[in-house]
Amino acid sequence: MKDDQDTILYLSGDSKDSILRSPILQKYTNQGYEVLILDDPIDEFTTQHLSEYEKRKVKSISKDDVQILDNDEVAKKKLQKLKEMYKPLTDWYKNHLGRNVEKVSISNKLVDAPLFIFTSQYGYSAQMEKINKAQAFTNQEKTPSYMLAKKTLELNPNHPVMKTMLNEIKENDGELSEASTEYANLMFQMAILNSGFLVENPMDLTEPLEKLIKVGFGLERDAEVE
């Protein structure tokens, strides 16, 4: 591990290939950090009870409390300024998504992805929530809240889409157009999938995609079927 890496980092998922393509792994590998790839379901149960190994903390990079990246003072000040700059957009997303997320903030962990959903250090991970929901005889509607992951939506301030959304909100008194709102919803559903969660209602993903396909073919978003 790197000399300044005092934490054993890991990322769990359904397969090695899907983990290696995770949007949050890119920055760690770019900066030379070592991250364990855990693709076996039993790994998720094991890490729930393994918080330390040989005097090193054990943490998942999908948790919102991992702050191993960009820890110098200049980077911290830059991140704080970005949080203030993007407050209109983070406030809009939190109000729009409501109870679907615990909080919305600006991220320093993303490279190419516009946004990602991290989970609370004290709650279940996306992978653990998915394993629980897959259990036989599970009543999805009566799942206790402590068995559900607490989601933190983090936005990439360097992504062109986020910059465009911020400008639109500033120009329209804190509001987004209908089309931009649909794209914001679509990106949230994409983040759910990329973060390892299950999409509860597939229509939330497919309906805006269908409209986007129409636009790609030069049609109106709401072009009707003849």
Segments in 108-159 forming alpha helices (H): 126-133
DSSP single-letter state for residue 63: B
Among all chains, which residue has been given the structure tokens 């406030």?
91
Segments in the chain forming alpha helices (H): 16-20, 26-30, 41-47, 73-85, 87-97, 126-133, 160-171, 178-194, 203-216
For residue 132, what pLDDT is reported? Answer: 67
For residue 223, what pLDDT is reported? Answer: 87
For residue 97, what pLDDT is reported? Answer: 95
Tens-binned pLDDT, residue by residue, of the chain (226 aa): 777 788 899 998 888 999 999 999 999 998 888 999 998 878 777 887 788 888 888 888 998 888 777 677 888 899 999 999 999 999 999 999 999 999 999 999 999 999 999 988 776 776 767 666 666 445 555 555 555 678 999 999 999 999 999 999 999 999 999 989 999 999 999 999 988 888 888 888 898 899 889 988 999 888 888 8
C-alpha–C-alpha distance, residues 108 and 158, integer Å: 9
Burial 194-220 (b: 16+ CB within 10 A, else e): bbbbeeeeeeebeebeebeeeeeeeee
C-alpha–C-alpha distance, residues 79 and 94, integer Å: 19
Which of 95, 89, 108, 223 lies closest to 169 in space, CA to CA?
89
153 - beta bridge partners?
Answer: 104, 117
Dihedral pair phi/psi, residue 39, rounded to 5°? -115, 10
For residue 134, what pLDDT is reported? Answer: 64
Task: Quote the pTM value.
Answer: 0.85
Neighbours of 189 (CB within 10 A): 20
For residue 141, what pLDDT is reported? Answer: 54
Q: Are 194 and 151 in contact (CB under 8 A)?
A: no
Which of 13, 161, 35, 23 lies closest to 93 in space, CA to CA?
161
